[in-house]
Amino acid sequence: MNAAELTERLDAYPRLPLAEYPTPLEPLPRLSRELGREVYIKRDDDLGPGLGGNKTRKLEYLLAEAKQRRARKVVTYGGLQSNHARITAAAACRLGLEPHLFYFEHRPARAAGNLLLNRLTGARMHFIPFGGGGDGSMTLETTNRLVRLVALALVGRHYFIPVGGHSWRGCLGYVRAALEIDAQARGMGIEDAWIVTAAGTGGTLAGLLAGLTLLGSRLRPLGIDVGKLWKGFPVSLARLTGEICARLGEPRAFAPGDIPLIEGVYVGERYGAPSPACLDALQRLARLEGVLLDPVYTGKAFAGLLDLAARGQLGTDEPIIFLHTGGLPALFAFEERLLEGQVSR
Ligand SMILES: Cc1ncc(COP(=O)(O)O)c(C=O)c1O
């Protein structure tokens, strides 16, 4: 399928643009010199609203459906430093919707990082210190079903957004991103590049994989798992990627082994706990290029990129595009960890 056809099929779905596109695709010259190959960064951290990030692209499709259904309230959920919840709240405010955010944890004594931004947008935050999945014991789909029931009981009628905006509709945002990156890369003479991204719910990866496959692109996506969050993760992503293609009128079957995901290796202790390699990677990119990463998602994904490249697992000289998915507000929830000597002076 060519780019015009894919764009036309995407345009069949309602979308409310929330940011300016395309986001920049920038070279990282000093890092490229150190690694001996071209490295680029795709700045999806530059997307609004509410300090933005990758979830903006998914929310453009999801909130368009919420408006179409004349919803008044939107509900979503995530971990305490969920960027998705924070961006949902900001985008909902912009569209005149009432945001409700669920956290399956104790209400923290201090609202830091993303939680502080939620306070500013006036989002209703519901803290329920049990359940909520995300510990690898439940599938993502089961977790969504349970939270949806809890939200219905507590909030009443609402538009429900799965964790991370993870649905075929939300992932259309990353099919659109695949088109955008493919066009930018070709315009810059970048061929056969890897696109490395963090995988939390994996929707960004699934959308990219679906989009690049449908386009017949030579760009190769690779997801770095940041949390060991879900039971049967590759199975679920294979199903989702197939469904995205089908919704775009081009059914394709994906097996779990077709999902380019490095599972577990770069998670460290657990989701949300920055590993030493993550903090080193974060510091290395900040000092070399002045680019800031976050300690929960992009820091771990970038640590994965550096390690895989060093071990020759990303070929030898193909360019690498690092997809910066945002998340910087979380830096301010990890002040102590960042100051305690894990990060050198
Ligand atoms: C900053 C950041 N990067 C990456 C991700 C992962 O995206 P996905 O859930 O689509 O895998 C998330 C959210 O989960 C995020 O907030």
Q: Note the pLDDT tens digit of each residue in 75-127.
A: 999 999 999 999 999 999 999 999 999 999 999 999 999 999 999 999 999 99
The answer as to whether 345 is a domain residue is no
The answer as to whether 25 is a domain residue is yes
161 and 171 part of one domain: no
322 and 297 part of one domain: yes
Q: What is the DSSP letter of 202?
A: S
Question: Does residue 199 have its Cβ closer than 6 Å to ligand 1?
Answer: yes
281 and 298 part of one domain: yes
148 and 12 part of one domain: no
Domain boundary residue, one of 165, 182, 203 = 165
Which residues have CB under 8 Å from 196's CB, separation 6+?
A: 222, 224, 301, 302, 304, 305, 308, 314, 320, 321, 322, 323
Question: Does residue 204 have its Cβ closer than 6 Å to ligand 1?
Answer: yes
Candidate from 82, 117, 118, 204 with most ligand 1 atoms within 8 A of CB, to mutate = 204
319 and 280 part of one domain: yes
Question: Does residue 79 have its Cβ closer than 6 Å to ligand 1?
Answer: no
Q: Convert 9-40 to b/e letters by CB count within 10 Å (16 or more is b).
A: bbeebebbebbeeebebeebeebbeebebbbb
242 and 184 part of one domain: yes
User: Which range of residues forms the domain containing residue 110?
Assistant: 55-165
Q: What angle do CA 28, 176, 201 make, to 5 degrees?
A: 80
211 and 283 part of one domain: yes
314 and 327 part of one domain: yes
pLDDT of residue 321: 98
Which tokens hold the place of 282? 């974060």
Question: Does residue 170 have its Cβ closer than 6 Å to ligand 1?
Answer: no
Question: Does residue 325 have its Cβ closer than 6 Å to ligand 1?
Answer: yes
The protein residue with its alpha carbon nearest to ligand 1, atom 1, reads: 327
pLDDT of residue 90: 98
| CA separation for the pair 129, 277 (Å, rounded) | 30
The answer as to whether 306 is a domain residue is yes
- Closest ligand 1 atom to residue 223 Cα is 11
82 is catalytic: yes
158 and 264 part of one domain: no
Residues of the chain with pLDDT under 70: 131-134, 341-345
Q: What angle do CA 285, 22, 89 make, to 5 degrees?
A: 80
The answer as to whether 344 is a domain residue is no
pLDDT of residue 168: 98
The answer as to whether 332 is a domain residue is yes
Q: Which amino acid is at 45?
A: D
Of the candidates 32, 53, 323, 31, which has an alpha carbon nearest to the alpha carbon of residue 194? 323
The answer as to whether 43 is a domain residue is yes
The answer as to whether 39 is a domain residue is yes
Beta partners for 77? 102
323 and 183 part of one domain: yes
Q: Which amino acid is at 342?
A: Q
Residue 322: give its domain's CATH number: 3.40.50.1100
Question: Does residue 329 have its Cβ closer than 6 Å to ligand 1?
Answer: no
63 and 114 part of one domain: yes
139 and 215 part of one domain: no
The protein residue with its alpha carbon nearest to ligand 1, atom 9, reads: 201
Q: How far is the CA of 199 from the centre of ligand 1 (A)?
A: 6
- Closest ligand 1 atom to residue 226 Cα is 6
Which tokens hold the place of 83? 């960027």
φ, ψ for residue 195, nearest 5 deg? -120, 110
Q: How many folded domains does the chain comprise?
A: 2
Q: Convert 300-334 to b/e letters by CB count within 10 Å (16 or more is b).
A: bbbbbbbbbbeeeebeeebbbbbbbbbbbbbbebb
The answer as to whether 231 is a domain residue is yes
| Span 193-223, pLDDT tens digits | 999 999 999 999 999 999 999 999 999 999 9
Which residues have CB under 8 Å from 345's CB, separation 6+?
A: none
Domain boundary residue, one of 116, 133, 165 = 165
Domain boundary residue, one of 165, 195, 214 = 165
Cβ atoms of 22 and 176 closer than 8 Å: no
